[in-house]
Structure 1
Amino acid sequence: MKIISTNISTTKTIFHNKKEIKTGIFKSPTFNEIAITKLNIIGDEQADLINHGGEHKAVYAFSSGHYEHWKKELKNQNISFGMFGENFTISNLSEEYIYIGDQFRIGTALLEVSQPRVPCFKLGIALDNKSILKLFTQYYCTGIYFRVIEPGVAKTGDEVILEKEAAHNISIRKLFQAYFDKGYIDYKSVLSEAYCLKELAPEWKEKIKKKLSLN
């Protein structure tokens, strides 16, 4: 795996449904080396600090391989890297084989997989498609949020190297599908196991707690 595109954005104010909205989802590629800190990437801004950025969503990565699917699905050949709001577009980034707690060396930084991405309405704005939230959820390829174990720098072309593999089988895709797929037969055992993982972000622990009515 390697970084195909590095994407950042300052926040922008737009009008949507006659309302003023501030967002950082409109990311564009940069060929400059970027600095990865414990809470975010320097130069990349988030408007909603409750739902974006922070310790457990410091960095967001998305597979370059998903773009061809979405170009066909949305009948839009103009979709380009960064349009899903990702900081890093990475080759061969498979949610099926990346697990909560896996640690990757990206540039000089060490990042740990913390949770899947749950899309918000701003993705629909970015892609100018009202159906994308439903389609994105049903596709189960969500991209990956990371927390930062060791800050560092990275740039387009850098290798992405697995340094520590999690000792369980709860992948990003498996967790997301168990939560959102109403036909997922074994969802309770998958979510119960995921809930016990110390590496899983608190946001997802709370989601699982509510879904399983845990006390």
Structure 2
Amino acid sequence: MAEYDPRPNPAGAGGAATGRVLAVNVGTALPLVVAGAGTEAVVLSAIRKHPLSTLHHPIAVGVHRLGLAGDEQADLTIHGGLDKAVYAYPIEHYTWWNTRRREAGVEEAERPLAFGAMGENLTTQGLLESALWIRDRIHIGEVEFIVEAPRQPCYKLNAVMGYAHAVRDMLQSGFSGMYLSVAMPGVIRAGDIATVIPGPREVSVESISRHGHR
């Protein structure tokens, strides 16, 4: 995994910035083996993302109303669409997930999770669920996003994390990440500063993620 600035909320011009993008990730729909109740099944999923733009190679990636150029969603009943066009996840939670995987005895756990491992399109720094509210706006590069909802994980998270209780852990921890809609399309790249413009501030992402309040 690429290095990132450990300082919280790296400041931009005028100190207005609240975070930045460390990686822009995309994926295509591919077969995924999922286990449950002693059986295995193969489903189509695009949860596995790979970095397209990184701090070392900050190429521009197009963002349109329905998501990132080159990205796919397999199950459009729960992913994608205007309100779930882009999924952002904080790098700050990665260490916690690495620890949980080791505790669960995942064979590959000694290798740190790579950007995109949570299925996120944007790996971010400084944009935490506790500091973002539904309908906040986030300016990144040319793009304006709107915070819509925390992620409600499905069984596929267990498969990519490699252990049976990853969904439970995400729900109990509140480390959900957040779905974003695209208010203004454009291009973004790794290293872009993210500036939050407060919305009505009635419901926080964390309160929904932890308690289901809306």
Contact 2:145–2:184 (8 Å) recurs in 1: yes
Task: Provide the residue aligned with 1:112 in structure 2.
Answer: 146
Match of 1:28 in 2: 50
Alignment correspondent of 2:200? 167
Aligned-pair CA distance for 1:10: 1.1
How far has the Cα of 1:87 moved from its partner?
A: 0.3
Letter paired with 2:101 = L
2:64 corresponds in structure 1 to: 37
Q: Residues 101 and 162 of structure 2 are in contact (CA less than 8 Å); yes or no, is this contact kept in structure 1?
A: no
Give the SS at the match of 2:211: helix
Secondary structure in structure 1 of the residue aligned to 2:160:
helix
Q: How does 1:1-215 map to 2 (within 5 A)?
A: 1-17=19-35, 18-31=40-53, 32-75=59-102, 76-78=109-111, 79-162=113-196, 164-179=197-212, 191=213, 194=214
1:176 deviates by: 1.9
Cα distance change on mapping 1:15 and 1:132 into 2, 3 Å? closer
Amino acid at match of 1:20: V
SS in 2 for 1:177: helix
TM-score normalised according to structure 2 size: 0.80
Q: In the aligned structure 2, how far is the partner of 1:14 from the partner of 1:96?
A: 32
Q: Distance in 1 between matches of 2:24 and 2:164?
A: 26
Give structure 1 regions of 4+ aligned residues with deviation exceeding 2 angstroms: 14-20
Pick the structure with more helix per residue. 1
Q: Which runs of 5+ in 2 are unaligned?
A: 1-18, 54-58, 103-108
What is the RMSD computed on CA atoms of the aligned residues? 1.3
- C-alpha distance in structure 1 between counterparts of 2:125 and 2:136, whole Å: 17
Q: Which has the higher contact order (CA 8 A, sep 6+)?
A: 2
Contact 2:101 2:161 in 1 (8 A): no
- State the Cα distance separating 1:34 from its structure 2 match: 1.2
More strand by share: 2
Aligned-pair CA distance for 1:178: 2.2
